[in-house]
Amino acid sequence: MPSRYQQLTREQLAVLVPELLLTGHLIDRAGMAFCIAELGRESMTEIAIEEWAGASPIYTRRMQRALSFEGDDVVTIFKGLQLDIGAPPQFMDFRYTLEDRYHGGFHLDHCGALLDVEPMGEDYVRSMCHAIEDPTFDATAVATNPKARMRPVHRPPRVPSDRHPHCAWTVTIDDDSPAVEPIPALAVNARTRAATLELDPIDPADEGYGDYAGDLVSDVDFAAFSRSALVRLADEVCLQMHLLDLSFLLAVRDRADSPTAGRIALSQLVGHAGITAERLHRALGLGDGPEDAARLLELHPLANPAAYVDLERDGATVRVRRSPAHDDGAWISLCGPGSTRALQAVVRAVDPHLDVEVAGTESDWTATVVRTDAAAPEAGEVAITRFSGGAAFRFEPRRSLPLFVS
């Protein structure tokens, strides 16, 4: 199934990919407030750990294979982090250092996640920067080498309160260390259609870089990649989001009854769908009519990759059919004639006067974007997600410099 992102130019794709990495990070911001409200802070912390540990090893290996940088060393770990929704460029501003193949480190010049959480108080900072990061950093490294360990040099709560950099970590691979054991949810997530989905390979003859097999760089220059590579990157980042969401749902369902889990799942999707649509609409310079909003739906992560979500657009109407995403219970399964709120959040990011008319069955339906006389208020879930600095974050130009052993 050809990627829907093939309709974009190389220049548009170079803008799109970092946007997708950033909005993937906002899945947590969209969902965790509702976990706290329904289940409490301690359960939220447990859910976050299982969410990332049950997804990141799968999608990290996928990205390594896609861009041909598989290995067992620190460089491979760092390259994976640069293309991970858990560490979106600049918003989570990782600065890397290399000592040798098995020793390195990083610090964060800017941690958008910390700045989101600090106003909530020290307990929440400790939950994120201690309870969640310790196991999830190691789980991410497992994708490259199960004997890798990430350990803090310093981390928040910040003392003094304006301490910079926000945190610093060492990364060590030691053959004498016991292997990190994956959590049980990882095996469950590994059996999903998202985990095993085959995507079109990168065309090595396309102009630009077709892989990341060369030197580690300080900042990934997405414009240097070929159009084919950027299409594959965009599809892989969307799969990262689906895998993270599926892992999130596994953790929530272990702690909540079905109605509560359903409320949390839909609230997370609505909040994420609206903010992501707003950012993509601005980044791609789309218009503000019904057909533009339908095109935004076509390009939105909830509808991609095309091999995962069966959706086609005709003017201002999109048609959805049953697909692997429905088999997994992914985002698209929360949309349809009886559940329009996520679709409304997307089109109203274009213009609050827009709405959707949806008809069909639960997994086979059409949605037509229409203009109404009255402007709809912003959905509460979108307003909650907007609390994150990532909602309004702006990328800046960076020079991409090679990093070598110090």
pLDDT digits (tens, 9 = 90+) for 151-199: 999 999 999 889 999 999 999 999 888 888 899 999 999 999 999 999 9
Strand order through the sheet with 148-154: 92-100, 103-111, 167-173, 148-154
Write the single-letter amino acid at 164.
Answer: H
Write the single-letter amino acid at 161.
Answer: S
pLDDT of residue 252: 98
- The residue ranges of DSSP E strands in 56-175, in sequence order, are 92-100, 103-111, 148-154, 167-173
Task: Indicate the SS3 state at residue 402.
Answer: strand
Say how far apart CA 391 and CA 213 lie, in whole Å.
32
Say how far apart CA 68 and CA 204 lie, in whole Å.
11
Say how far apart CA 75 and CA 213 lie, in whole Å.
10
The 10s digit of each residue's pLDDT in 323-334 is 999 999 999 999
**Per-residue DSSP letters for 77-144?**
HHHHHHT-TTS-TTTEEEEEEEEETTEEEEEEEEEHHHHHHGGG-HHHHHIIIIIIHHHHHHHHHHTT
Say how far apart CA 191 and CA 189 lie, in whole Å.
5
Say how far apart CA 77 and CA 64 lie, in whole Å.
10
Task: Indicate the SS3 state at residue 233.
Answer: helix
- The residue ranges of DSSP E strands in 293-353, in sequence order, are 310-314, 317-321
Say how far apart CA 114 and CA 94 lie, in whole Å.
13
What's the whole-number average pLDDT of the chain?
96
What is the pLDDT averaged over residues 89-108?
97
The 10s digit of each residue's pLDDT in 224-265 is 999 999 999 999 999 999 999 999 999 999 999 999 999 999
DSSP category for residue 379: P
Could you tell me the sign of the dihedral formed by the alpha carbons of 77, 83, 86, 88, in that order? positive
Q: Is the pLDDT of residue 406 over 80?
A: no
pLDDT of residue 253: 98
Claim: this prediction has a pTM higher than 0.85: yes
393: left (phi over 0), alpha (psi -120 to 50) or beta: beta
The 10s digit of each residue's pLDDT in 118-136 is 999 999 999 999 999 999 9
